[in-house]
Amino acid sequence: MHRRGAVALRFGFTLIELLVVIAVIALLIGILLPALGQARKTGRLSICLSNMKQTGVATASYAADYFDRLWAFTVPPGPISASLLTYADTRAQALGGNDLEAASAQAVDIVRRRGGRDESNFPTISSWIPNILYSHLVLQDYLAQRLPERMVVCPDDANRLRWSSDPFAFDRGELQPQPTGEGSQRWPYGSTYETVYCAFSPDRSDNERGVTQAGSHRFYYLTGNGPEGNFGRRRISEVTFPAQKVHQYDSQVRHFGKAQFYYAYADARSPMLFFDASVRIILTGPPDPSGYDVGANPGWDPSRPITPFPMLIRYEPSNWESPVRGGTEFIAPGYQKWTRMGLRGVDVGGRENKLVGN
């Protein structure tokens, strides 16, 4: 029973107490956010490693099904190509072209079949070396994947994720920044992970027809005077040191540090897929003089194998690539991109043999 005149008590927070609670919450958020950000970053790295691991496992499966062959564009230039490709224009391109025209025709053929494209919105592409960034299309065709497929894209590769999210929007120029020019429709179907040259080309291209680096990091040219039809003929049994020979790698460092940068800087650390299907994070270089698994060997120029000097790459980034550190260009050895001795060579875990003729 209440007494007349008694004052009712009200419970609540004072302004000071409320400010203290807000400060404590802000402090907790400040402590937890970096940890959550690091957890997300670690998760993206795990997905990237898993992507490469799946490719390594599929490589072994492909070789078992196709008589020891490494996956690569294998449609030959000439009459046989007419029976191997689906579309009349791709058959004609392969029929009258060289190794690269045949590879381009096969790449376009796969994208159309697996990506819901056709002659009207995905035409054939000429003067293109698709083998470095697009050989994976052959493996995806083997796996019956719908294109674009994110298995070939690192989750920290924001541009390719955006391009592959809507290839038709890319065609309309709505997903900036993006490459332009002839054949630019291909970019949403590209891979973060670059395939080493010797997975599809001869180890040496001084006598046999092969590829070598052109003036900029994204361009290549044909060299050698050998016959056509020798691309895409490499076998997994030709790999002498599978645990030390890189099959694919990311040309950008994405998972370590605040800014992305090119793989050829000596302090770069990036995931690499080896021919034994292992995936490891390797420091680019320089390699430890003792030969242990610390850095990558500098590599060679397959068109000039008698020289002891490595291939030099000029990195001149476009607006959708990571910038050069403190300048407009950067020149460095090619490292695992151009392994000395090709499939018979060593990228990490041992010193490369620089003897002429090896």
Q: Cα 130 to the chain's mean position, in Å?
A: 13
Per-residue confidence in pLDDT tens, the chain, 358 aa? 555 555 555 566 677 767 777 887 877 777 776 656 666 788 899 999 999 999 999 999 999 999 999 999 999 888 888 788 999 999 999 988 788 899 999 999 999 999 999 999 999 998 888 998 899 999 999 999 999 999 999 999 999 999 999 999 999 999 999 998 888 999 999 999 999 999 999 999 988 889 999 989 989 988 888 777 788 999 999 999 999 999 999 999 999 888 899 999 988 988 999 999 999 999 887 665 554 446 889 999 999 999 889 999 999 999 999 999 987 789 999 999 999 999 999 999 887 866 544 4
Is residue 205 domain-resident? yes
Decide if 42 contacts 256 (C-beta within 8 A).
no
State how far the Cα of 77 lies from the Cα of 65, in Å rounded to an integer.
23
What is the per-residue pLDDT for 311? 93
Enclosing domain of residue 207: 42-344
What is the per-residue pLDDT for 292? 46
Is residue 21 domain-resident? no
Q: Cα 70 to the chain's mean position, in Å?
A: 17
What is the per-residue pLDDT for 123? 95
What is the per-residue pLDDT for 326? 83
Is residue 331 domain-resident? yes
Q: Give me the number of domains the chain comprises.
A: 1
Is residue 93 domain-resident? yes
Is residue 12 domain-resident? no
What is the per-residue pLDDT for 358? 47
Is residue 323 domain-resident? yes
What is the per-residue pLDDT for 185? 94
Secondary structure of residue 194 in the 3-state scheme: strand
Tell me the pLDDT tens digit for each residue of 290-334. Answer: 544 468 899 999 999 998 899 999 999 999 999 999 877 899 999
Is residue 216 domain-resident? yes
Task: Give the helix, strand, coil percentages of the chain, each rounded to 5.
Answer: 35, 10, 55
What is the per-residue pLDDT for 110? 97
State how far the Cα of 189 lies from the Cα of 101, in Å rounded to an integer.
18
Residues 6+ apart with CB under 8 A from 250: 48, 154, 192, 193, 194, 263, 270, 271
What is the per-residue pLDDT for 81? 80
What is the per-residue pLDDT for 4? 54
Is residue 94 domain-resident? yes
What is the per-residue pLDDT for 156? 95
